[in-house]
Structures are given as C-alpha cells and as structure tokens.
Amino acid sequence: MKVGFISLGCSKNLVDTEMTIGIFKKNGFEIETDPKEADIIVINTCGFIQSAKEEAINTILEMSEYKKNKCKYLIVMGCLVERYKDELEKEIPEVDLFVKFSEYSTIWEQISKLIKNKKEEEKLNFNNRIITTGDNFAYLRIAEGCSNHCTYCAIPSIRGPYISRKIEDVIDEANELAKKGYKELIVIAQDTTKYGIDIYGEPKLAELLEKLCKIEGVHWIRFLYAYPETIDDKLIKVVKENKKICKYFDIPIQHISDKVLKRMNRKSTGNSIRELFKKLRKEIPNVIIRTTVMVGFPGETQEDFEELYNFIKEYKVDRLGAFTYSKEDNTPAEKLKDQIHPNTKKSRYNKVMELQQLISKEKMKDTIGKEYEVLIETKTFDGKYYVGRSYEDVPDIDGLIYIKNNFKENLEGKFIKCKITNVKEYDKIGKIINKD
C-alpha cells in the first residue's frame, strides 16, 4: 500500500513525521507524495496556538474527502491529538486512528492493528528516519519537551518536561547524517540552550557544538530557539571561534517590558536582553540575530507596547517575527485579567510588522556589494537561476539568494562565493566570484 504524509507545525514535529515515514518504509510500504494516490494518509498535527489548530482541522477535513476514493485509512497524530483526542474522535469520525504524542511508543502497534498488518516490533527511531528536507540539510533534534512553563504556552502539557538526548546518541546520529551527504545540520529543541541540564547538571550545548564541528563532511552547523537567559560567554565563544558554526542566533525574547516578561514567567529582563544583544554584536562581527515577539499579552499597556516598539526601532534586529497572543486552554495566562481586545492586538501587530519591514529593507540594501559563501540548493523552474542560501538564511524562514546560471557544470549541492548585486523585498541577487 502507498502512504502519504502531511506534517504541520514546527521542525521538531517534522522529525517525528520523518521517523514515522521510516517505520512505514522499513515495513515495505511505498511513500506517496500525492494524497490522491495514497491508500493511507497520515497527518502530523500542531496544536500550539489557535491558527495552528484551525490549520490542522482544515487539513484533516480536506484529507478526509479522499476516503471517498482511494484512501482506505486516515491517521492523525501529534500535538492537536494530545490536547483534544476525545473531542476529535466525536467530531471527525472519518478519521480511523488518532495517536497522541504520549502514545508514540506504541504507534506502530496501533497502526498495524488498524490496517491488519503483520506487526513487527517497531518504535520511532532517530537513525531510521527518512529525511524530507532535501539533500543538503537535516534537522538534529537534541531534546524533547519543555520545562520553562511560560504562562501562555501549552507545550509542557502537550510534550512533557524537557528531556535531553545523550551527547553520544546525538553525535552518532550526526555522523550518520554526514555519511549520507548532509552538509548542514540544524540543531533544534524547544529551548536548545537548556540542553544537558537535566542529565548532566549544566548546559552542554557549547560542548555538543564543538563535537559536531569535528564531524567530517559537515560544512555548516546552526542552532535554533536559544533562550536569552541561558546564552552564556562559553556558548558565545564557541560560536565565535568555530568556522563551521553559522554566526546566527535565534533568540525568542517575546517582549522587552519587565512587567510583561514577569507575567509571562520569562526568566529574562528587558535590561538583560538589551545587554545580550549588545554583547553578541560586539563579540561576533556580522552576527545575525533573529527574534520573535508577542503583542497583546494580557495586561500589556500602551506604555508596555511602546517600550517594545522603541526597542525594535533602536536595536534594529536582523530578523523579527511577531504574533498576537492567543488564549490557550489550560494555560495560566488564560485566566489572567485584562485580556486585550482583538482589534488592539491586531493594530499592535501591524505596527510592529510595518516597522520591521522598514528595518529589513534598510538591512537588505546594506548587503549590496558584500560577499557571501552560498550553498546552492536548486534551480528556478526555468533553469535561468541557481537558488541558494548563506549563513544568514535559515531554510523556509529567511530569504534566498538567486544567481544567474551561466555555467555548464551543475552547481547544485556545492558551496560557492558570490557577491550581492541587487536585492528584492526578502531575497538577494548575486553573481559568482569563484567556484572553488
């Protein structure tokens, strides 16, 4: 039978999807990219915020239509199921099997029973996953869950407490990925900077990164979701001194007002965040800082918002994403007083994004004339341009670099040097200055 997969939500969720694909493939199933042709459709859902929940429900309903034709079994797994399995079973009977995140240890047993397959003992396994992100990069998940307990966030109740993987297990997986030809490893967890504290008694991200740098064949290493309070001098030094580590910090600050940060149960202060950003820019030339901020959190006054707005205006963060506060079931913030009116939240969101667009435009112009090492990943449909990324660009999040295809040999999968000649809104245009 043919199996089709849809993975929603974050890259951490994608790793679970890839491991599930690996189980099916190991048991002789054919993987199908077109859901119309699939005998089994598996949807891995996100349930983090309201918009993610709506996307998941719409996707389930859309895929359930295929049961009128070829699809025999519709399976739904992931975070949304963890939160609302009972309700989903009642409301969407077209789904044949719902698998909660906490049931992943028996996922193949449940699937085998449903499709009447000769069951083999199988569990989700990092080393058997099928990478779905192409030939050049792969995600390396180093921990599961979260223990930060931010008041707006349901992740700890969905995915459980923070549990680090052992360093040797992560290194073994990284070695296997390198042997398969992956040139870039993207280290992920809900909070990468807390890695190791639960099993080693102290943060071990810096040590892990140093070990990853020694793996032959890996050219770039980057890590995402680094919480500001745990970025220490040791980590900064490791990033600064190792050529393989992309000079890129993804630091979700959420806010800058001390009052709001405290209500969010964040461990940072506005001053500590400002000092961290200054230190990173001083210590690491050309560092890229990405962050996310939340507007409309309960109790956020106009004064609080203006402090955030002025921070963004003054510090000119390289990459910034914003989202409005979403009241989530069974979170402490759900019960907080002074909930913000939706129109106010939307207005504040728009103001932040308009400001960031101006900042981004200014920063993009500054790249004209600069030289970058670029990983060529593909070509445009018409073949006229190569498409690649520099250390400044996280896949599927940041922009791309387009380079005129004037070469006989195929450059896909290679690193080249290029000079930026022009910029679009989020992407750059470059020309190759050498192909070594």
Q: CATH 3.80.30.20: does it fit domain 131-366? A: yes
The answer to whether the CB of 157 falls within 8 A of the CB of 67 is no
Dist CA 412 CA 231 (whole Å): 35
Long-range contacts, 100-108 (Cβ 8 Å, 24+): 101/16, 101/77, 101/158, 101/159, 102/160, 104/16, 104/77, 107/20, 107/23, 107/77, 108/23, 108/27
Q: Are 6 and 34 in contact (CB under 8 A)?
A: no
Per the prediction, the chain carries an average pLDDT of 94
pLDDT at 435 over 70: no
Q: Which of 321, 316, 326 is closest to 254 using CA atoms?
A: 321
Q: What sign does the dihedral 280-389-133-218 (CA atoms) show? A: negative
- For the chain, give every domain's residue range: 2-126, 131-366, 371-434
Contact call for residues 331 and 148 (beta carbons, < 8 A): no
Which among 110-114, 124-128, 295-299 has the top mean pLDDT? 295-299
Tell me which amino acid residue 229 is.
E
> 69 pLDDT band (50/70/90 cuts)?
confident
Report the CATH fold assignment for 2-126: Rossmann fold (3.40.50)
| DSSP character at residue 374 | E
* Closest of 301, 309, 310, 294 to residue 340, by C-alpha: 301
Under the banding of pLDDT at 50, 70 and 90, the label for residue 434 is low
Q: Is the pLDDT of residue 200 over 70?
A: yes
Tell me how many degrees the CA angle 44-49-51 measures, rounded to the nearest 5: 80
pLDDT at 237 over 80: yes
**Residue 334 CB-half CA count within 13 A:** 10
Say what the pLDDT of residue 378 is.
94
Higher per-residue pLDDT: 125 or 221: 221
Six-digit token string for 267: 């461990």
CA atoms within 13 A on the CB side of 322: 23
Structural contact between residues 197 and 167, judged by C-beta atoms closer than 8 angstroms: no
Cβ neighbours, 10 Å, residue 85: 16
Report the pLDDT value the prediction gives residue 121, as an integer from 0 to 100.
66
pLDDT exceeds cutoff 50 at 81: yes
Q: Is the pLDDT confidence value at 377 over 90? A: yes
pLDDT tens per residue, range 9-18: 999 999 999 9
pLDDT tens by residue, 128-162: 899 999 999 999 999 999 999 999 999 998 999 99
- Mean pLDDT to the nearest integer, 355-380: 95
Supply the pTM of this predicted model: 0.94
Mean pLDDT, rounded, for 239-252: 97
The phi, psi pair for 77, rounded to 5°, reads -130, 175
Reduced to 3 states (helix: H, G, I; strand: E, B; else coil), residue 33 is coil
Which residues are 401's β-sheet partners?
A: 388, 428
Q: Which residues contact 279 (CB under 8 A, 6 or more apart)?
A: 236
Could you tell me if 2 and 30 are in contact, meaning their C-beta atoms sit under 8 angstroms apart?
yes
Classify 371-434 by CATH class: mainly beta
As a three-state string, the secondary structure of 270-327 is HHHHHHHHHHHHHHCCCCEEEEEEEECCCCCCHHHHHHHHHHHHHHCCCEEEEEECCC
